[in-house]
Amino acid sequence: MRRQYYLLTLIILIIGCEKEQTSTEKQIDIIDEVLENEDIDISYILENPIIYESVNFTLSIKNNELGISKIEAQIADEIVAQVEDGKELGINLNPDNFPAGDTILTLIITDANGNITQHNYPISFHRVLLELDLKENFFLPPQFVDFYFFASAIDGSLLASIKIDPISQNFKLTTPIDISPETPYSLTYAAIARDINNTYTLTNLFTIKDLTRNNLPLFSPKGILYYGASSRSEYSTNGFPDDDVINIGTVFPSYGYDVGYYSNTKTFVVDNIEMNFEDRDITNYYVPYHNLSQNDYAYIWLNKQELSSDFVLDFNNLLRDGIESRIFDASYNDGKGDGRFGYLTILGYNNSQDFQDGIFHYLWQRNHAIDASFPTVNTIPYFLNTTFETYSHIYQWEDYYTNRIGVPLESYNIPVWSFEYIQNGKEIDIIKNGDGHTSGKIFLNNLNDEAIINGKRTIYNWSYLFDSQNTEKIILPELPDDLKNSEFGSLHSSNSLLIERVLLNSYDGISSYPDYLDKVIKTNENILKVTPKVEAKFINRRGNQWVIESDKFFY
């Protein structure tokens, strides 16, 4: 039966010898036998046409009735492997030995009678940009539904992109563009959230500029801490002053809980907040009390398990042990003439393990403003609870920002850096003076200038990290097609992106931007676990107001 089939094929070939063949098989000087595609086992290439690392595979002839005298593999007319008098051909393809991009692997098979069969297989050589090892808790909360990674050349052109599911996974991001190990590029992570009624979209983007294939070969980020659902409990109070201005709690919640006080109803509230790190539960709530009218600070610890429904927060049970009244220096003036503004936040950790686990309690959090008509006010008071083992604090005054381990200082040495930026569409020029900074960050958002695109509220946050010592121009990257066609993509294409602020940063113990990539970005590490001190100068388009920086770049 097989011989009849070969005879029929030979007749068809003779009749149609002038017709152009449309299959991937090209046959030359066939006399009386034909080697079919199904006779060749080259499944590896058929299943893995993109080659980004050195591979070894074998071509084998499953039916050798014809008698194979020679097998030869070619790429761009160059022989890459050959064997005589055999049914198998071992092939090694190292992408470093070939230009990046699409090409053809050609197999030329000669039988014992001198008949030649040629088969062409499309393949593509890629360059590995970096390996990504992602854990499920890296991804943002459930309302975010679409996730992307994409790489871009410094001119903004797209090198590679991939849409991924929010699950643990390991893969290599590759590009068909020839890029050397030392050529800089940028990597962007994007996450999109939508509400169930499809009335708004929120797009968060994080871009790291000046990566190379050598300086960040592996991105293995730790999980992101985020607050989940909360349940509120309300309790009665006793003995609190009637007419004084009282704050209980702080602007932001502590790890796993928040507390507050409603003076009109004299009600004390506790919000128990679910955290995505379930193995880091807390047992005690720290409740700070600040009477602004009497300049009084006190606190109380409440056991989470002992808060019954009939609990009453009694003013007489508040503690003042270990409380000290202190001041910080507010004499620095950035010279902008718009009054002076800043804030101080103090976090306490019961022990070193809590610090490592990120279990913190807000001890103090207050903003301060000095009107331009009061230039002689140079100190600001605050209270410190000295009973904690470890502290960190965030201090912002004018255009200076610091996040560091320890209690606040009486005064701070402000870096002598000056800079400005010029935005022209997607191009941003950075003009700077002064040394000592390591990284820079541009933060773009429209939280106060929401756009309506396709009938939806369209919001974006974009953090863009760069080497502050060696960057003078930034070109925001092009978007992958899915993002380009989104509501955010409409703002991106119309050059309507707004810069909220620009920062220059320095870090104790981090010597350079590549050092920062290795110690912080590679694992999305909490910055205070790498350095005891972060300092920054910033420009904020809304003036010197509430510059809040996350302890992690990806948050």
pLDDT (tens digit per residue) in 424-438: 999 999 999 999 999
Using 50, 70 and 90 to split pLDDT, how confident is the model at 543? low
Q: Are 232 and 245 in contact (CB under 8 A)?
A: no
Q: What are the φ/ψ torsions at residue 37 (nearest 5 degrees)? A: -55, -40
- Where is pLDDT greater, at 313 or 227? 313
Tens of pLDDT, residues 84-131 = 987 788 999 999 999 999 999 999 988 888 889 898 999 999 999 999
pLDDT of the residue at 15: 33
Q: Which of 27-31, 268-272, 349-353 has the weakest average pLDDT?
A: 27-31
Q: Which of 463, 476, 477, 467 is nearest to 440 (CA)?
A: 467
pLDDT at site 336: 73
SS3 38: helix
Number of alpha carbons in the 13 Å side-chain half-sphere of residue 36: 10
Structure tokens given for 143: 């309302």
Give residue limits of the domains in the chain. 2-124, 128-222+440-524, 227-275+280-321, 324-405
pLDDT one-digit tens code per residue, 333-378: 777 766 677 889 999 999 999 999 889 999 999 887 665 555 556 7
Which one, of 233, 367, 402, 204, lies nearest residue 302 by Cα?
A: 233
Question: Going edge to edge, which strands form the sheet with 296-303?
Answer: 246-248, 284-291, 296-303
Per-residue pLDDT at 349:
96
Confidence of residue 278 (pLDDT cuts 50, 70, 90): low
Q: Look at the chain and count its residues.
A: 555
Residue 289: band (very low, low, confident or very high) from pLDDT cuts 50, 70, 90 = very high
Q: What is the mean pLDDT of residues 441-445?
A: 95
Within 10 angstroms of residue 478's Cβ, the number of other Cβ atoms is: 20
Query: In the structure, what pLDDT confidence band is assigned to residue 279 with cuts at 50, 70 and 90?
Result: low
Q: How far apart are CA 84 and CA 112, in angstroms?
A: 11
Q: What is the chain's mean pLDDT, rounded?
A: 87
SS3 94: coil
CATH number of 2-124: 2.60.40.10
Nearest by Cα to 428 from 442, 414, 417:
442
DSSP code at position 140:
P
pLDDT band at 196 (very low <50, low <70, confident <90, very high): confident
Instruction: Mark 78-103 as b/e (b = at least 16 C-beta within 10 Å).
Output: eebbebeeeeebebebebeebebeeb
Cα first-last separation, the chain: 67
Per-residue confidence (pLDDT) for residue 546, from 0 to 100: 59
Average pLDDT estimate for 321-327: 96
Is a pLDDT exceeding 60 seen at residue 481? Answer: yes
Q: Cβ of 149: how many Cβ atoms within 10 Å? A: 21
As a whole number of Å, the CA-based R_g of the chain is 32
What is the signed CA dihedral for 17, 18, 21, 27, rounded to 10 degrees? 40
Query: Is residue 497 over pLDDT 50?
Result: yes
In DSSP notation, 451-519 reads: EEETTEEEEEEEEEEEETTT-SEEEPPP--HHHHTSHHHHHHHTT---EEEEEEEEETT--SHHHHIII
Return the percentage of the chain with pLDDT > 70, whole number. 88
Q: What is the pLDDT of residue 554?
A: 82
Q: Three-state secondary structure along 361-426?
A: EEEEEEEEEECCCCCCCCEEEEEEECCCCEEEEEEEECCEEEEEECCCCCCCCCCCCEEEEEEECC
Contact 260, 249 (CB under 8 A): yes
Instruction: Please state the rounded mean pLDDT for residues 515-533.
Output: 95
46 pLDDT more than 70? yes
pLDDT at 205: 96
Q: CB–CB of 410/328 below 8 Å?
A: yes
Percent of the chain with pLDDT over 90: 63
Torsion of CA 307, 312, 313, 316, to 10 degrees: -130
CB 486 within 8 A of CB 146: no
Q: Band of the pLDDT at 65, cuts 50, 70, 90?
A: low
